[in-house]
A and B are shown apart, each in its own frame.
Chain A
Amino acid sequence: DAGVTQSPTHLIKTRGQQVTLRCSPISGHKSVSWYQQVLGQGPQFIFQYYEKEERGRGNFPDRFSARQFPNYSSELNVNALLLGDSALYLCASSRGGEGTDTQYFGPGTRLTVL
């Protein structure tokens, strides 16, 4: 079975622009979580979606939003980009929406904001 996939692999944007990142979970997984990993740090939780509903939100500004589609894929949107948004954005999928299920990560999208 295919693992978690993310697109694009790399992205370069300028300050003030908007970006959309995409994630496809492992087949059969209904939960998708998004994390931001700044260089040299551990990932930080942004959002979790389960069955198309937001289940959790980390300490990120409203410029960050996400949604989950009927096929359980997900998009992360970031508006009004800042230099500090430059990071690796990781998507993780799990079978259910609770902590009992292990999260499996995708390869990430490297976002550079100039």
Chain B
Amino acid sequence: AQTVTQSQPEMSVQEAETVTLSCTYDTSENNYYLFWYKQPPSRQMILVIRQEAYKQQNATENRFSVNFQKAAKSFSLKISDSQLGDTAMYFCAFMKYYNNDMRFGAGTRLTVKP
């Protein structure tokens, strides 16, 4: 079974600084997808970034980038130039290639301080 582990329950960062959220996963699959979702206090889950396992290049979306290490089964999220609006729960998620059963980690609560 696939499991996703986020070892940092809470993190904080000063506005404009950079923060990295960690995620590891366990799978025997070779083809899969990894995601970071953001859930602000308003609770709507928003996709931050997506990575296909077959792509070696790390995904980037504006201030958000990932460090995908397939052999180590690690998928960290880097947020640059942190903004107050980045305050939220961040969930790492795994999904098999031909399956919509998405497995989530327990989440990391990120607080951006002014």
Are A90 and B100 in contact, CB atoms less than 8 angstroms apart?
A: no
In the complex, what distance in Å separates the CA atom of A101 from the CA atom of B91? 18
**Cβ-closest chain A residue relative to B6:** A42
A71 to B43, CA, bound (A): 26
- With A31-B100, A98-B98, A99-B98 in contact, do A104 and B43 touch (Cβ < 8 Å)? no
- Are A105 and B32 in contact, CB atoms less than 8 angstroms apart? no
Interface contact A107-B96, CB-CB below 8 Å: no
* Known contacts A99-B33, A104-B47, A107-B43; is-contact A43 B100 (Cβ 8 Å): no
Q: Is the CB of B101 within 8 A of A43?
A: no
Cβ-defined partner of B100 (8 Å) among A41, A97, A107: A97
Q: How far is the CA of A98 from the CA of B102 in the complex (A)?
A: 11
Separation of A39 and B114 alpha carbons in the complex (Å): 27
CB-defined contacts of A55 to chain B, threshold 8 Å: 100
Q: How many residues of B contact A (CB 8 A)?
A: 27
A33 in contact with B100 (CB, 8 Å)? yes
Residue from A42, A90, A98 with most neighbouring chain B CB atoms (10 Å):
A42
Most chain A beta-carbon neighbours within 10 Å: one of B43, B93, B99, B101: B101
The interface residues of chain B lying within 8 Å CB-to-CB of A33 are 100, 102
Contact flags A86-103 to B (C-beta < 8 A → 1, else 0)? 001010101001111011
Q: Flag whether B19 is at the interface (Cβ < 8 A).
A: no
A58–B97 contact, CB under 8 A? no
A-B contacts besides A42-B107, A100-B33, 8 pairs, CB < 8 Å: A45-B101, A45-B102, A48-B100, A99-B33, A99-B95, A100-B97, A102-B50, A106-B44
3 closest pairs, A vs B, by CB?
A42-B104, A105-B45, A48-B100
Give chain B's interface residues, CB within 8 Å of chain A: 4, 32-33, 35, 37, 42-47, 50, 91, 93, 95-107
Would you give 5 A-B contacts (Cβ < 8 Å), ordered by A? A40-B106, A42-B106, A48-B101, A99-B98, A108-B43
